[in-house]
Chains A and B, each alone.
Chain A
């Protein structure tokens, strides 16, 4: 990676550090762990989101 790119990356990291993103750290274990647990059998290369009640409402709205 070129030096300029590294400087940009460092600037971005500093910005994120100051933006308070780290305040959300405390929930990481639960949020990340639960999301994984919900994907019953993670398929390689597949997003693990699951069917929810959104689906029913979606079909109602889409008039299927």
Chain B
């Protein structure tokens, strides 16, 4: 676990810092939102992470309101609570309450054409699934991680906005808002309802911002 760092220097990892010259602050902030979403959608948050979420303050925007709600709920959530929610939502007995894959949302089935199209684009962009990972690439956490990586250049050069827009429109924008809205309203969601609210608000902002590109 890295040292906690709430100063402005905590915006970037060392590796990202050298890229910051060519990436605007707003784009780094977008990458941070994607990383946060990816992180908590991969596994439940730790105590330290919940404590950090509890310290966040939001303004009157939809994202700000979601952050305020997340901070309030995180303060009353234990890692065990969050982990149980995560299990009920995504793992379950047989299946979780939600199935967080693009192909499933877009076609009703796993492993369909949307996944094939994603793999084609990943190959073009030089993104590969790690060998030991057997999970399909169109999982929401993986896609959020890829968006963050495209923004900051984890996969080589950072992708320009036109490329980010293409990737977002093809693989994220078409279903992620629906998924996050489902997450917000899911029976098992309390902490994750706030993640759903934040994700849905962020997808709206991303969609609108990409319309300006």
Could you tell me which A residues sit within 8 Å of B by CB distance? 8-9, 11-13, 15-39, 43, 45-62
Contacts and interface: CB of A to CB of B under 8 A. Distances in A.
Contact of B35 (A35, A43, A47, A56): A35
The 7 nearest A-B residue pairs measured at CB: A20-B61, A33-B2, A29-B10, A20-B63, A20-B64, A16-B26, A23-B67
Interface in B125-139: 126-130, 132-137, 139
26 contacts: A15-B205, A16-B27, A19-B205, A20-B62, A20-B63, A21-B29, A21-B33, A23-B64, A25-B32, A27-B49, A30-B48, A30-B52, A33-B13, A34-B2, A36-B15, A37-B2, A38-B42, A46-B127, A46-B128, A47-B127, A47-B137, A47-B146, A47-B149, A54-B91, A56-B91, A57-B92
B37 to A, nearest CB: 9
Contacts of A29: 2-6, 10-11, 52
B64 A45 contact: no
A60 B95 contact: yes
Tell me whether chain A's interface is mostly helix, strand or loop, or mixed.
helix
B129 A47 contact: yes
B59 A45 contact: no
A28 B35 contact: yes
A57 B61 contact: no
B67 A20 contact: yes
A27 B15 CA distance: 17
